[in-house]
Amino acid sequence: MCGRFAQAAKPEAIAQLFDLPPEAIPPYQPRYNLAPTQPALVLRRHPHTGQKELVFLRWGLIPSWAKDPNIGQRLINARAETLDQKPAFRAAFRHRRCLVPADGFYEWQKTSQHKQPYFIARKDGQPMALAGLWEHWQSPEGETLETFTLITTEANELVKPLHPRMPVILPQDAFALWLDPRTDVRTLKDLLLTPYPSALLRAWPVHARVNNPRFDDPTLIEPLPQLFSPDTWPPS
């Protein structure tokens, strides 16, 4: 599961990640504790022109057929293994795939006393791209909402001590395939079922303030020195 992530990279870093001109990056505030139901920056292909665009969508997918938009609070993640089977995700998987830029994501390790949050990021400090799906929903009154979900897969060896699942992080050479509406299902599933290499990531413990979405500042991703030793993670 992925229930929190950070989206705070400089616009030029996001432009480089997605091979976009700097002017294509809309103004946004750095976020260090993005939580479900909040808006986040998402890369998709425009539904009519097919051109790549960065837009703000609400986290928590609301299927087009949903009667109650509150269903989105339960659909913040989608399992890679069953995307083509679940009614909530099947259409979006075929037609509305997206990428979510992130500086990293949080997972929690159960201890004898509490759950200790950790932040997982790329070793090189560059933003990552999380695989997602997006949807367009309209209420009977005409209200329109565009939402997204993050896809999860089996955790790699770095994340596994924290949680058995992790968000799908796609390498740059897979972006075009993922966003292309013509890519076949088998190729898409192969992309999703391969966890991102542990050797390219690092994880460190952070303050439990991240548990409260009202806190949102750079200190949330700073390591706790008394708990962090890069030579002993992951634990054996």
Residues carrying an active site annotation: 2, 107
Determine whether 198 is exposed, middle or buried from the number of CB atoms within 10 Å of its CB (0-12, 13-18, 19+): middle
Amino acid 178 reads W
Phi-psi region of 60 (alpha: psi -120 to 50; beta: other; left: phi over 0): left
118 within 8 A of 223, measured Cβ to Cβ: no
Cα–Cα dist 15/54, whole Å: 10
Determine the distance from the C-alpha atom of residue 68 to the mean position of all C-alpha atoms in its chain, rounded to a whole number.
Answer: 24
209, with CB counted inside 10 A (0-12, 13-18, 19+), is middle
Cβ 117 vs Cβ 6: under 8 Å: no
